Structure 1
Amino acid sequence: MCGNNMSVPLPAIVPAARKATAAVIFLHGLGDTGHSWADAFAGIRTPHVKYICPHAPIKPVTLNMGMSMPTWFDIKGLQTDAEEDEAGIKQASENIKALIDQEVKNGIPSHRIVLGGFSQGGALSLYTALTSQQKLGGVVALSCWLPLRSSFPQVSANCANKEMHVLQCHGEADPLVPMMFGCLTVEKLKTLCNPSNITFKTYPRMPHSACPEEMMDIKEFIEKQLPPI
């Protein structure tokens, strides 16, 4: 299936090997699709967990000279002070909250759902968790940053996830989203959430991608936050 500007294909799903009692919703990075992460999760799956990897809609991206590609929201620049697509971030976040609501309707309570993402998808997962009324099982934030960070802590005043567990990972050799973004993000998160629930792991020589060691850390985090019931 191909997405266009009007419609987005159904998420790539790795079903649970037995009855699903928990779920991971994971958001890919700019220009990617959910399939690559569904493949990655198939390699570290936990039997009672369903993995849902939605596809971003295809839209023009200012950073890439207005070319259209899968993107959760527009990215105008990669500097810490770059202008942000506030309306796009908020709309994308509402869409992800609707996806969480759908899983709750399907019988998986929100505290048994881990939200996560890579790069732009990780940024959206953090923003969504910190503005959600749904209590989540945790967040996996890979090679990313916190968008609209100056709108916090006001935005998170009535957030349900102040005590959420976060696994934040970053490659020390990331040329696209430099590790400084990860360090600034983890410091900000510790002011918004219980700092003892925030874990920040870095990987020497890892560029803007994932590595086997990181995937095992993700597997361990998911199994801890979403134990069998």
Structure 2
Amino acid sequence: EFGRTYVVKPKGKHQATIVWLHGLGDHGGSWSQILETLPLPNIKWICPTAPARPVSLFGGFPSTAWFDIMDLSEDAPDDLEGLDASAAHVVNLLSPEPRDSWCLLPSSFFFLKKKIL
């Protein structure tokens, strides 16, 4: 089950919505506090919290994670079930937002899970 979702409402005219996904072991609340201080008054930030799940990299110890991480090698298997569930959660969070407020970023903007932890 996904944790609490924190929302930072725009201080000005709502022109964009960004879903900000935290890193391994973190939660949406820590980022919402930081994002609230940015001088971006027309952006709505949605900061969900990943579910607590066993993380293979940690010997099965539970941690908030968008998907399981088996190991850090380049050829480690991906947790497609966890990735799909997290992607569906993000789509669900965006569904009530006006389409013209979505801020879609090119895939080249994102760094791969295996490059950073």
TM more than 0.5: yes
How many residues in Structure 1 have an aligned counterpart in Structure 2? 115
Partner of 1:55: 49
> If each structure's helix is expressed as a fraction of its own residues, which one has the higher value?
1
Relative contact order (C-alpha < 8 Å, sep 6+): which is higher? 2
Aligned counterpart, 1:99: 93
Please say which structure displays the higher CA radius of gyration: 1
1:82 equivalent in structure 2? 76
Structure 1 or 2: more strand by fraction: 1
* Structure 1: gaps of 5 or more residues: 1-5, 115-135, 147-175, 179-207, 209-229
Post-superposition CA distance 1:176-226 (Å, at most 9, x none): 836xxxxxxxxxxxxxxxxxxxxxxxxxxxxx6xxxxxxxxxxxxxxxxxx
Contact 1:33 1:70 in 2 (8 A): yes
Change (3 A) 1:55 1:45: farther
User: Structure 1 residue 61: deviation in Å?
Assistant: 0.5
TM-score (norm 2): 0.84
Matches of 1:53 and 1:87, distance apart in 2: 21
Answer whether contact 1:18 1:48 (CA < 8 A) is retained. Answer: yes
CA displacement, residues 149-200 of structure 1 (integer Å, 9 cap, x when unaligned): xxxxxxxxxxxxxxxxxxxxxxxxxxx836xxxxxxxxxxxxxxxxxxxxxx
CA displacement 1:100-135 (0-9 Å, x = unmatched): 2132xxxx22x4322xxxxxxxxxxxxxxxxxxxxx
Deviating beyond 6 angstroms after TM superposition, the runs of 4 or more aligned structure 1 residues are: none
Q: Would you say 1:113 and 2:51 are equivalent positions?
A: no
Gaps of 5+ in 2: none
Distance in 2 separating the partners of 1:42 and 1:82: 36
Match of 1:17 among 11, 24, 28: 11
Return the TM-score normalized by structure 1.
Answer: 0.46
Contact 1:14 1:42 in 2 (8 A): yes
Name the Cα RMSD after superposition.
Answer: 2.1
The 2-side partners of 1:20 and 1:34 are apart by 21
